[in-house]
Amino acid sequence: MLGYALGVSSETPNLPRRIAHLDMDAFYASVELLRYPQLKGLPVVIGGGRRREDDLLARMRAAQPDREWTIEHLAEIPVDMFPRINGYTGRGVITTATYAARAFGVGSAMGVMKAAQLCPQAILLPVDFEQYRHYSRRFKEMVYDIAPLVEDRGVDEIYIDFTDVPGGQRQGGRALARLIQKSITDATGLTCSIGVAPNKLLAKMASELNKPNGISILQAEDLAEKIWPLACRKINGIGPKADAKLQAHGIHTIGELAAREPQWLIEHFGKSYGAWLHAASHGIDDRPLVIESEPVSMSRETTFEKDLHVLHDKAALGDIFTRLCQQVAADLQRKGYVGKTIGIKLRFDNFQSVTRDSTLDVYTADAKAIRHAAGLCLKRVEFKRRIRLLGVRVGSLVRADCDQALHPSPLKALSSVFSAREAQPLKEPHHEQADLF
């Protein structure tokens, strides 16, 4: 979780503004193909029912009991052993799909049952958000090292200000885009598509022109040739309702939209949206990059493959809880922060979410201190249902080298980092068990 955002734009008056939009190619599916390279080129969808790697390995052990099958052998599992979506029943939704599956009309947010009708031979894999976040952090770290002004737009896309970065103006930004593409692929094995243009609006459109693993450069003079022939929906901000209304007025392409008078658009779509439609169709967008400020908190969480019981699965919960605390501590130490608000997040099998937190007297990035304080928070939760998600959060962050962290007030310095100001735990036996994990 990050703090407020700061608008940042280039201050160099002599250089034309060059903004890049980087979009990872079929990100979740591509991460899965790193694990299962034998599926490359095949239609694969991510989502639906939650299956585990162990299920595939169990099938292989049953089919070939004469050899060892472990997680190191995932790439050797025959394609025929993977589950297909043919005959799928349920309410599962597709998170993403490989380009081979998209060729059949399968897309993100589509129901798995519908996808099964379009491409019954597609392979169905479960989501693994922890792995996707891992690769998201890795590709962003590569970009930050090359071009530090970045707007984070989610797990698989970012905007980058190329304007003042060495190579950012050469060939309209193509030289720097190639360097970033190669750096990401070398570090992760994944590919991305990059669009470079005078602003964020056109950069995002450009990144979709040459997918996958493509680079598209747009200059202001390219608008009529490359942008105006596109459908209006290609403009980020024109949704299905607005598009249907535009089509009802005979406006199907961005060029047709650009040809309408601003006053006509305002009369039919309102003062603000109508003016924006006119500006967007002419490629006008003055929005600055929104650069992340100092983070106000860092967190780690995980969703379990199966719901866990606080008593029957306390050993597993304890290991997971400790690992989450260690991961948050490592994140803090790597990025140079300390915090003093320690919190937990739980989601039960009925999807009810619960959070608790407490405030320490001094700042810390120590895994044991975080584990202890988070464990005390657990004692304030009523455990009557199984747990499907567990998370740990450290907030009220400051830089580890700031005076506030290095020189706490004398009275607070006398207190241990373990002395959290919180309500007394309840005494029922099932609450006491929570402290065991």
Annotated catalytic residues are: 157
Peptide bond connecting 198 to the previous residue in cis, omega within 30 degrees of 0: no
User: How far is the C-alpha of 288 from the C-alpha of 275, rounded, in Å?
Assistant: 19
Residue pair 213/181 in contact (Cβ under 8 Å)? The answer is yes
User: How far is the C-alpha of 272 from the C-alpha of 78, rounded, in Å?
Assistant: 56
Residue pair 395/339 in contact (Cβ under 8 Å)? The answer is yes
Contacts of 270 by beta carbon, 8 Å cutoff, 6+ apart: none
User: How far is the C-alpha of 385 from the C-alpha of 352, rounded, in Å?
Assistant: 10
Contacts of 112 by beta carbon, 8 Å cutoff, 6+ apart: 45, 47, 48, 85, 88, 90, 92, 93, 94, 124
The SS3 assignment for 321 reads helix
Residue pair 425/431 in contact (Cβ under 8 Å)? The answer is yes
Alpha helices in 73-213 (DSSP H): 99-102, 112-118, 129-146, 174-188, 200-207
DSSP state for residue 165 in the 8-state scheme: S
Residue pair 394/332 in contact (Cβ under 8 Å)? The answer is yes
User: How far is the C-alpha of 255 from the C-alpha of 258, rounded, in Å?
Assistant: 5
Residue pair 331/298 in contact (Cβ under 8 Å)? The answer is yes
> How would you write 222-283 as a 3-class SS string?
HHHHHHCCCEHHHCCCCCHHHHHHHHHCCCCEHHHHHHCCHHHHHHHHCHHHHHHHHHHHCC
C-alpha distances in Å from residue 131, one per residue of 52, 213, 329, 353, 362: 13, 21, 19, 23, 33
Query: Residue 323's Cα: distance from chain center in Å?
Result: 21
Contacts of 400 by beta carbon, 8 Å cutoff, 6+ apart: 332, 333, 336, 337, 338, 363, 365
C-alpha distances in Å from residue 113, one per residue of 49, 122, 367, 371: 11, 12, 44, 42
DSSP-derived pairing of the beta strands 123-125 and 289-292: unpaired
